[in-house]
Amino acid sequence: MQKNIQKAGFREKLFNTGKARINYVEGPNNGCPLVLIPGQIGNWESYHKVLSKLSKKFQVYAVDIRGHGKSSWTTGDYSWKSVGSDMSAFLKEVVRRPSIVSGNSSGGIIALWLAANVPDYVSRIIIEDAPLFSAEMPRFKEKDKFVYNGLQRLVETIGNVKNRSLADYFKGAELPLKNGDVKRLPDWVANIISFFIKRYEKAYPGKPIDIPYLPPLRLFIKQLSQFDPDFARAFVDGRFYEGINHEEALKKVQCPVLLLHTNWFRHPTCGLVGAMDDNDARRAKELVPNLIYKHIEANHVIHALCPKEFIQEVEEFAVKE
């Protein structure tokens, strides 16, 4: 992964905002800036399937936000405002020109924050299946609580950094199904994952966990091992929500917006399984007159699951009048 993007001209760098060190990769200057912001738990490597191709038409930056990847952990200081301030400084001091900002999931809310708060540095935004309206209280905790419950479970299982087994996150993991049932990760699968994680932790204590024997989960486990659980805890205990009201932020946006929306369903006990429902998307379109809406037949992380489609949408949007 690292060698492939190096061949494409990318370099990994650090930027100090004064409050956090932000790790990022920067591609060659082949066009207007395109800043990629991953979702919660994810790091810049989640974009590895699209970086080389996008770098042929853009100058691509992909970041690890605070608490993720190789960026600083700022335990006790996580909110939309603090993360948005990091990225504001990044645009002003690293990119230094108006940029297309694309964010997946929580990264999409950060892209919205930037468009609303530093419009001079944001030419367009791409909201890639972000939890518009659904990640606001009290709805996030009381109604559409699937994601909230998942963050709460993460905090309970691996939230104690000094005394934890990362493998505990996978034991008893459940996924709601469209038919109303819940699918539980089989114990034998959890035990295999646990075996490899514990063996790696013993051999390489303190290092990011990178297990090539588990290709479907390899990147996720690595990202999880580099993730500050207090970032998730801030969503659970309410600290994170400072700094943005989704409706007010959408009303302030003046630049073109591309909203990419993936599949979703509503479970009888878990609520919304997905980032937003059709009513949320409709509400966003009503608030932003120049918003372009696209439904993508995929699950949440389009750039990883449907890289060709993501690249096409980005390239077409960048030149759209």
At residue 206, φ and ψ (nearest 5 deg) are 80, 0
210-233 CB burial, b ≥16 within 10 A, e <16? ebeebeebebebbbbbbbbbbbbb
Query: So what's the pLDDT on residue 2?
Result: 67
**In this model, does residue 211 exceed pLDDT 90?**
yes
Using CA atoms, how far apart are residues 248 and 271, in angstroms rounded to an integer? 25
Query: So what's the pLDDT on residue 5?
Result: 81
**In this model, does residue 247 exceed pLDDT 70?**
yes
- Structure confidence at residue 228 as a pLDDT band (50, 70, 90): very high
Average pLDDT over residues 88-99: 98
Query: Three-state DSSP class for 166?
Result: helix
**In this model, does residue 214 exceed pLDDT 90?**
no
**In this model, does residue 119 exceed pLDDT 90?**
yes
- Structure confidence at residue 3 as a pLDDT band (50, 70, 90): low
| Residue matched to tokens 């439904």 | 295
**In this model, does residue 137 exceed pLDDT 70?**
yes
* Contact predicate 58/30, CB 8 Å: yes
117 or 7, which is more confident? Answer: 117
Using CA atoms, how far apart are residues 130 and 112, in angstroms rounded to an integer? 10
Query: Three-state DSSP class for 69?
Result: coil
* Contact predicate 135/147, CB 8 Å: yes
**In this model, does residue 133 exceed pLDDT 60?**
yes
Query: So what's the pLDDT on residue 200?
Result: 94
Average pLDDT over residues 11-17: 97
Q: 32-73: per-residue pLDDT in tens?
A: 999 999 999 999 999 999 999 999 999 999 999 999 999 999
Average pLDDT over residues 225-241: 97
Q: 145-182: per-residue pLDDT in tens?
A: 999 999 999 999 999 998 888 989 999 999 999 999 99
- Structure confidence at residue 15 as a pLDDT band (50, 70, 90): very high
**In this model, does residue 321 exceed pLDDT 80?**
no
**In this model, does residue 135 exceed pLDDT 90?**
yes
- In sequence order, the 6+-apart residues with CB closer than 8 A to the CB of 155 are 229, 232, 233, 236
Q: Model pTM? A: 0.96
| Residue matched to tokens 């060190």 | 21
Average pLDDT over residues 17-21: 96
- Structure confidence at residue 215 as a pLDDT band (50, 70, 90): confident
Domains of the chain: residue spans and CATH: 2-136+240-319 (3.40.50.1820), 162-227 (no CATH)
* Contact predicate 302/309, CB 8 Å: yes
Query: So what's the pLDDT on residue 213?
Result: 86
- In sequence order, the 6+-apart residues with CB closer than 8 A to the CB of 78 are 66, 67, 228, 230, 231, 234, 239, 240
Query: So what's the pLDDT on residue 1?
Result: 57
Average pLDDT over residues 104-123: 98
Through-space distance between the first and last CA atoms of the chain, rounded to whole angstroms: 35
Determine which of 22-26, 41-45, 94-98, 186-190 has the lowest per-residue pLDDT on average. 186-190
